[in-house]
Chain A
């Protein structure tokens, strides 16, 4: 009885292990990423470049970067041109 239970757990663990393995497409993507990182020098003990860090900052949480930059331009141009600028953007993008 006990060995049946052990077998069941072993099978369950084995199937979980199988599920966790990457499929061929995922392996291909992982390989591509590794090759790309090697080309740019990332992950090979070198310091990540400023450009790479900036790229990461932009692509992770892209909405945060988008609205951040947008807020800066809105403050700057509204200070310079007042409601003429906000009306212009409204007309261009909002109507």
Chain B
């Protein structure tokens, strides 16, 4: 719990500590949210109105895609940062990037709830307003973690940091697009 709070409130310290167990747990929870939780909520809430198909093979494939996405983003971060002079090894990225997944989990849960209760939220100013704050806030939060990660873990600064931000950002957008096409509504990034 202490490590979790550290990641929540002082991400730079958490990155330096690099708790692999917490990082991979967060990745696992993110994947579970966008696969199992999504289907479960649709089945429980909408199951009476129309048949909700539970395809275990598809869920396993999506979970596998989630793991591949994690490996992919770590590879992109490592490759780009290495090109820009970072000395950090790929194993450090693999055991640290997952620490940035707290906003991803919250985003995943929010997206599932928005989709399941869409009629409740659509055209409702108050709910729309609240969700707007949550979703945009998550986006800003994740971006801050991304920058802190490049600074603390990859050890980049100044122009190199800006370059890595843009190049890795392009990689992130491509992976997010692939995730969306394949059916992961919240990218495992």
- Which residues of A are in contact with B by a Cβ distance under 8 Å? 26, 29, 32, 36, 58-63, 65-67, 69-71, 73-74, 78, 82-83, 85-87, 89-90, 93-95
Contact = CB atoms under 8 A, between A and B. Distances in A.
Contact of A63 (B16, B110, B122, B137): B137
Given A26-B16, A83-B125, A86-B128, 13 more contacts: A36-B157, A60-B10, A66-B103, A70-B133, A71-B137, A78-B129, A78-B132, A83-B124, A90-B131, A90-B132, A93-B135, A95-B111, A95-B115
B8 interface: yes
A67 B131 CA distance: 11
Given A60-B10, A62-B141, A65-B140, A82 B125 contact: yes
Interface string B147-158: 010000001010
Contacts of B121: 90, 94
B118 A74 contact: no
A73 B136 contact: yes
B164 interface: no
Interface string B1-20: 00000001111100010000
Interface string B103-135: 100000011001100100111110011011111
A74 B136 contact: yes
Interface of B: 8-12, 16, 103, 110-111, 114-115, 118, 121-125, 128-129, 131-141, 144-145, 148, 155, 157
A94 B131 contact: yes
A66 B140 contact: yes
A89 B123 contact: no
A20 B140 CA distance: 36
B148 A67 contact: no
A70 B128 CA distance: 13
Nearest to A92: B135
B129 A70 contact: no
B94 to A, nearest CB: 16
